[in-house]
Amino acid sequence: NAGVTQTPKFQVLKTGQSMTLQCAQDMNHNSMYWYRQDPGMGLRLIYYSASEGTTDKGEVPNGYNVSRLNKREFSLRLESAAPSQTSVYFCASSEEGNRSYEQYFGPGTRLTVT
């Protein structure tokens, strides 16, 4: 199993450009998440999807949109990138089941907005 995969690994954007970060998991998990990681701030939840067909805002949703394309895939879109969105983005998934609350993370996408 590949686990959680993310593309691209690196991206540089100019202010105002748009892009979509892709995420896929092959563990048949119901829940998927997008986080951003900034130095000294831990991980902050951008959006999550508790199950296929549903999405909800997390702690820092402004400037982002998401799509839960199917059970496997959960994409994050930046419509008009800003320098404040320079960060490392992680996708994660989890199975809401008996004692299975831990999250499985992808390798991350390093985004720089100039």
Partner 1 sequence: AQSVTQLGSHVSVSEGALVLLRCNYSSSVPPYLFWYVQYPNQGLQLLLKYTSAATLVKGINGFEAEFKKSETSFHLTKPSAHMSDAAEYFCAVSKGTGGFKTIFGAGTRLFVKA
In the complex, the residues that contact partner 1 under the rule CB under 8 A are 4, 31, 33, 40-45, 48, 50, 56, 58, 90, 92, 94, 96, 99, 101-108
Least distance CB 18 / partner 1 (angstroms)? 24
Least distance CB 100 / partner 1 (angstroms)? 10
State whether the Cα torsion 23-37-60-30 is positive or negative: positive
**CB neighbour list of residue 64: distance below 8 Å, 6 or more residues apart:** 34, 46, 47, 76, 77, 78
62 or 98: whose CB is closer to partner 1? Answer: 98
Least distance CB 40 / partner 1 (angstroms)? 6
State which H helix or E strand residue 34 sits in. strand 31-37
